[in-house]
A and B are shown apart, each in its own frame.
Chain A
Amino acid sequence: DTAVSQTPKYLVTQMGNDKSIKCEQNLGHDTMYWYKQDSKKFLKIMFSYNNKELIINETVPNRFSPKSPDKAHLNLHINSLELGDSAVYFCASSQDMGTGELFFGEGSRLTVL
């Protein structure tokens, strides 16, 4: 059983399209995250949710909208995709928002053409 699973693993799409990436964790954790890793391999926090509530929003364009239907799921919807959105997006979870021990998914590689 994968602890943190993301779908799809690969996503290729045209500029201007809208796409979603889904994330689920079966660890019973309260806190979930989205990180973005760009072509230079820098890994940056985008969002953090704790018990379905937005905790961290790190200067991410409004085109990115996270949604947490329950504390086991954190989905990422991206509107009007741009070339610069091409990256690997990692979902992660942690027991609570105090701990720094995060469990990451395998990543979703988004390519915008």
Chain B
Amino acid sequence: DAKTTQPPSMDCAEGRAANLPCNHSTISGNEYVYWYRQIHSQGPQYIIHGLKNNETNEMASLIITEDRKSSTLILPHATLRDTAVYYCIVRIQTGANNLFFGTGTRLTVIP
């Protein structure tokens, strides 16, 4: 069952920052926020995850609001290769809990 809401599509100019929002207003205290992306015809790719602190890695930054009801994935300098469907997922970190992939946001990076 989807516990996240994302816009269906977004455009971003090449070289600019892509900010992808996600609402998860019913998130529980022990649920993490995960982001994945799926480039056309490929398997999903893990990007980043966090609990309540902002996180950054070589791919992206994750900003989680203080109340944890929403988050934003930031691709600092979008390239054409970042065109993909981006999925925001909430998940508890223990036990056998699968990832539920909703409909995601289709990001198109425009030259």
Residues of chain A at the chain B interface (Cβ within 8 Å): 4, 33, 35, 41-45, 48, 50, 55-56, 58, 90, 92, 97-107
Q: What number of B residues sit within 8 Å (CB to CB) of A? A: 24
Given contacts A105-B43, A106-B42, contact A100 B96 (CB under 8 A): no
User: In the complex the two chains form, is A100's CB within 8 Å of B49's CB?
Assistant: yes
Given contacts A42-B101, A43-B101, A56-B98, contact A98 B93 (CB under 8 A): yes
Give the contacting residue for A55; candidates B42, B45, B49, B96; CB below 8 A: B96
Given contacts A100-B32, A100-B34, A102-B99, contact A90 B93 (CB under 8 A): no
> How far, in whole Å, are A104 and B89 apart by their CA atoms in the complex?
16
> How far, in whole Å, are A105 and B32 apart by their CA atoms in the complex?
23
User: In the complex the two chains form, is B32's CB within 8 Å of A50's CB?
Assistant: no
Report the nearest B residue to A91, measured CB to CB.
B43
Residues of the A chain whose Cβ atoms lie less than 8 Å from the Cβ of B91? 100
Per-position 1/0 for B84-111, Cβ under 8 A of A = 0101010101111111110100000000
Residues of the B chain whose Cβ atoms lie less than 8 Å from the Cβ of A48? 96, 98
Give the contacting residue for B96; candidates A41, A43, A97, A105; CB below 8 A: A97
> How far, in whole Å, are A68 and B102 apart by their CA atoms in the complex?
28
Per-position 1/0 for B35-51, Cβ under 8 A of A = 00010011111100100
3 interchain residue pairs of minimum CB distance = A104-B43, A43-B101, A45-B98
